[in-house]
Structure 1
Amino acid sequence: MGIYERQRHQHQHLVAPGASLWGDPFRPDADALVAPPLAAVAPVNGIHVAAAAAAVAEDVGVEAEEVKFVFQAQDDGVLPPVEDAAPSSDSFGHDDARPRDKIQRRLAQNREAARKSRLRKKAYIQNLETSRMKLAQMEQELTMARRQQQVIKPSYRLPTTIQGAHATSTGGLLLHAPPPPPDPRAAAFELEYARWSEEQQNQAAELRAALHPPPGSPPDNLHLRLLVEAALSHYDSLFGARSRAARADAFFVLSGAWRSPAERLFLWIGGFRPSDLLAALTPRLDPLTEQQASAVRVLTNTARQLEDALSQGMGKLQQTLVDALLLASVVDAGAAAGGGGGGEVMDGAVGKLEDLVSFVDQADLLRQQTLRNMDRILTVTQAAKGVVALADYCQRLRALSSLWAVRPREPA
């Protein structure tokens, strides 16, 4: 303690009045980490200067010993080594990887948003085009209905003798009377078919989107299978509604009054021919394996044979009706000469017309079985393409009718 007090006393005498031990830190030539400037020490004699230098050297030596002790402790494992901190993203190093990833994500999001915007725009344009075609079709049908009301005038009257002969068979309703209004169930089917056609296009759009997913992701086969099953069930609902409408008014269904003019051109017993449909869709399903192509050929030949059988049955029914009408004419001529009337013959002809419902049901059953068998032959992707192609085919037929209705006409 005496030595420490003596050295401290000596240090206090070495500092000049008005100056600190370390000198002025704001001087340009000052060094705060070294000994005090020599100008601040009063050079009383060489002993005092040597004592001050020895004190400073002793302090520096103690610090060096402490640093050496710390390094030795780290080498021995007593203290953990001091590691340099990794540069942060907000340091002067400026980590460029994180901003670059953010830019790439932002560009990918912009591309995806642009793609979705293009799809929405395309769907909106398609909806506008469909609405325009529907409006043109409705205008065409309204014009045709007005023309028919102006042209058709129920002014034809049968001879009095024939009227009397037919009065019993028709319940007193004379043939010159205006035709009865259509059955409400048949009119309801026309509206139901319009809604069915719209839903068909919506399902085709969903299938088309599922067949062409975003880049980098394969098509979901399970989702495609569900959409195909929904589309086939949609056709089943059409067949059921048409059967109910045929029971209400078979002539309405067979005449195709609920379809567009272009659709009526290809009408076969109230609908499409399965064999013609297969012939039109098969090229859209390539590539087919050899086994698939063989199965499609067998299915097409079978459909044609059944179509021929139904067509022959319809021909025989028509011939039966013709014979009945001719026989009724002969009977009516005999009735005019005093013989019996032909009421029973006409009643038999009306009974034959009830067979038309059976032909409509059998034709729809053939269409349904053809679609189901085609689905079993194809893969889920090929079946989805086939359903989309069928919907596009029906849509183009309706569009053809609309374009025909709005075509430029020559002046009368």
Structure 2
Amino acid sequence: MLHGFNSKAAKSATADRRNGGKKNTCLLKDFYADWLENLRSTLLPLLRQSISLASSSIVDESPSCPVSLIGAMASTSVDVLASNVRSLHAHFDAYFQALDLAAGQDVTQVLSPGDWRSPLEKPFLFLGDFHPAILTILLRSFLDPSFRSISVPSSSYPFSRAWKDPSRDLIAKVEQIERGLRLIVPTLVQRLRDVQKVFFEAAVDSWVAGHQRVEASSEVPEDVIKSHLRELECIFGDANRLRRSILGEILAAIDVYQAALFLESLSNFVIGYSDEDVIREYEQRKRSSSNLLPL
């Protein structure tokens, strides 16, 4: 899928030059729609099938079934599960890479939530995509005892025990990631504010100069604009790497059963953005709330 995005991006760049630099704003929107549909229709169902297979191969053991066959079935099911976990992780990684490529073309199309983002998605955005803390919050939900008791049906062994009694190493890793977030996220926000401040000051200076001297231009100098966009691209790149690295660190710290449940929940969360029924209810509530505001 990422190769397809690269190919489309190259064609788009050629078309941009032919059109005098006019951007093809549909490129990222089309990629995201395809990426989301692949997640919804292919990868998530495959993961769920492998979860079911891994459960049944262990739960449905028959006394008459040879131990060697039971072991082979369990081993095969775990291999399939691990393969689907890797595929889903690679799918998210390809998405992050595509965002990097899109930002390299025009960072504003990534940082400015366009019509390719659903109304439900926009409140969760942080510098171009979902806030990285969503990953740790989701992980914490599995570690919470009250959630663990209802997250997976008791018959779905070994998934029913996947999050029971998490290791101290895992808890320590989560706390380490959270500490890193508390340091890095405010730094990214401050960098964005500083870049915006420099740009706004340059814009004001240009406007004042343009009104004080007839021959002066009131437009922001092109070199200032280019520098501003480069800084924005760097900030977005760091935020995107943060999302990718946190997801990778989490998956490296948990076992295959935990990873399957975690990625299933993350996928459901992302797919939920485009749930038409939920969007409709959200829009209705939003309109109702606006009608209650004083004039």
Partner of 1:384: 260
Matched-pair contact (CA < 8 Å) for 2:199–2:224: no
Partner of 2:172: 294
1:132-186 per-position Cα deviation (integer Å, ceiling 9, x unaligned): xxxxxxxxxxxxxxxxxxxxxxxxxxxxxxxxxxxxxxxxxxxxxxxx99622x4
Q: CA-atom RMSD, angstroms?
A: 2.6
- Quote how far apart the aligned CAs of 1:292 are: 0.7
| 1:174-202 CA-partner distances (Å, limit 9, x unpaired) | xxxxxx99622x41111111111112223
Distance 1:316 1:409 in 2: 35
Aligned counterparts, 1:353-364, within 5 A: 353-364=229-240
Structure 2: where are the runs of 5+ without partners? 1-19, 62-73, 144-162
> Take 1:408 and 1:299, find their aligned partners in 2: how far apart are those partners?
35
1:197 to 2:73 alignment: no
SS at match of 2:60: coil
Paired residues for 1:315-394 under 5 Å: 315-336=193-214, 340-342=216-218, 345=221, 347-394=223-270
In structure 2, what is the Cα distance between the partners aligned to 1:205 and 1:302? 33
CA-CA distance at 1:251 after TM superposition: 1.6
Equivalent position to 1:216, from 60, 76, 89: 60
Please give the alpha-carbon distance, in whole angstroms, between the structure 2 residues aligned to 1:335 and 1:252.
Answer: 35
Alignment of 1:30-109 (within 5 A): none
User: Pick from 43, 47, 62: which aligns with 1:207?
Assistant: 47
Identity of aligned residues (%): 23
Q: Which residue of 1 aligns with 2:87?
A: 230
Unaligned runs of 5+ in 1: 1-179
Bigger relative contact order, structure 1 or 2 (CA pairs below 8 A, ≥6 apart): 2
The alignment partner of 2:213 has SS state of: helix
Selected match of 2:125 from 251, 267, 271 = 267
Asked whether the 8 Å contact 1:334–1:341 carries over to 2, the reply is: no
The 3 A distance-change label for structure 1 pair 344 and 191 is closer
- 1:248 has 2:105 as partner: yes
SS of equivalent to 1:262 = coil
TM-score, structure 2 length as denominator? 0.70
Bigger helix fraction: 2
> SS of the residue aligned with 2:169?
helix
Distance 1:181 1:397 in 2: 32
CA-CA distance at 1:409 after TM superposition: 7.0
Residue identity opposite 1:319 in structure 2: K
Q: Please state if 1:397 is matched with 2:273.
A: yes
1:117 paired residue number: none
Question: How many angstroms does 1:402 deviate by?
Answer: 4.5
The structural deviation recorded for 1:343 is 5.2
Secondary structure class of the residue paired with 2:81: helix
For 1:327, the aligned partner's letter is D
Alpha-carbon offset, residue 349 of structure 1:
3.2
Partners in 2 of 1:334 and 1:345 — Cα distance? 16
**Structure 2 CA distance, aligned partners of 1:402 and 1:221?**
39
Paired amino acid for 2:194? K
Letter matched to residue 178 of structure 2: T
| Distance (Å, rounded) in 1 between the aligned partners of 2:89 and 2:285 | 35
CA distance in 2, matches of 1:268, 1:357: 14
Conservation of the 8 A alpha-carbon contact between 1:324 and 1:349: no
- Taking a change above 3 Å as real, the CA distance of residues 344 and 264 of structure 1, as seen in their structure-2 partners, is closer
Structure index of larger Rg:
1
* Partner secondary structure for residue 367 of structure 1: helix
Q: Which runs of 4+ in 1 moved over 6 A?
A: 406-410
Q: Summarize deviations over 1:194-228 as a string: whole Å, max 9, x none.
A: 11111222322221222222351658222221111
What CA distance in whole angstroms lies between the structure 1 residues aligned with 2:286 and 2:186?
39
Deviations 1:95-152 (A, max 9, x none): xxxxxxxxxxxxxxxxxxxxxxxxxxxxxxxxxxxxxxxxxxxxxxxxxxxxxxxxxx
1 CA distance for matches of 2:286 and 2:190? 41
Answer whether contact 1:274 1:370 (CA < 8 A) is retained: yes
Letter paired with 1:216: D
